Amino acid sequence: MPSSAWQEWLTRIARTLNEAIFGNLNVVRDVTLEVGATETVVIDDRIGVFSWVLPMPLTESAAGVAGPGGMWLEPKSGQVVIHHDASSATDRHFRLAIFG
């Protein structure tokens, strides 16, 4: 590989690492739980069966379901199934962080 190609490749790696160090990772996605349902399916190519998906409630209504026993997440290939209680609340908004 020519020297210029190596330099470009190393520059891209350094830029990506600097972005990660400063927290600019492409790992978040916002979701709202389905109204009246007991499952919400989130489709995302970044999710795999061994992914670690962390929910962060964005509203008071979401915080109520996020407590112990309130919901659990089942990552699958290309999606995560969020199991939760059925509710008529329309503002159960979460931000998901997807790792792995």
Residue 2 forms part of a structural domain? no
Q: Which residues neighbour 43 within 8 Å (Cβ) at sequence distance 6 or greater? A: 78, 79
Cβ 32 vs Cβ 96: under 8 Å: no
Residue 9 forms part of a structural domain? no
Model's pTM, two decimal places?
A: 0.79
Residue 3 forms part of a structural domain? no
**3-state SS, residue 72:** strand
Positive or negative, the Cα torsion across 67, 70, 73, 79? negative
What total of structural domains would you count in the chain? Answer: 1
Residue 61 forms part of a structural domain? yes
The predicted pLDDT at position 1 comes to: 64
The pLDDT tens digits for 31-75 are: 999 999 999 999 999 999 999 999 999 999 999 998 888 899 999
Residue 34 forms part of a structural domain? yes
